[in-house]
Amino acid sequence: MLNSFLKAQLFFLIPFTLLFFILSQGDFKAVLFGFGLSFFFIASSIWIIQRFWNAGEKTFFRAFMISLPIRFVLVLIAFAILISSTKIDEIYFTVSFIISYLCHSITEMIFINKFLKKRST
């Protein structure tokens, strides 16, 4: 499932290439950081799901629920560090983080749905 998710990220390569030529270097860096941060959160979620999927129901639920706040806090810390330590445009960063997080979440749900359908047959 993680490999399929990584392959789906190639879809974002075309918009990033266009943004590289349209935006200034600082704005493009902000967009790239926002995308990378949301990618980290969703990829770690898929990794947890894939790793504990065949474990028992209680083990899976416990691992996922324990990892959720840990991953969230790590993303918040990374968000705060990026905003405070780099000279990037906060608006571009925040908007790209929110948009790419939504895109990554939708991609994650599609892959989980396919994984469940494949598992049930």
Q: What is the average pLDDT score of the chain?
A: 76
**Burial of 99 (C-beta count, 10 Å sphere; 0-12/13-18/19+):** middle
Measure the CA dihedral 78/81/83/87, to 10°: -120
pLDDT tens digits for range 9-26 = 666 666 766 766 676 776
Q: What is the pTM of this model?
A: 0.61
Q: Which amino acid is residue 89, in one-letter code?
A: D
Listed residue (26, 45, 22) closest to 101, CA to CA: 45
| pLDDT of 106 | 79
| pLDDT of 31 | 74
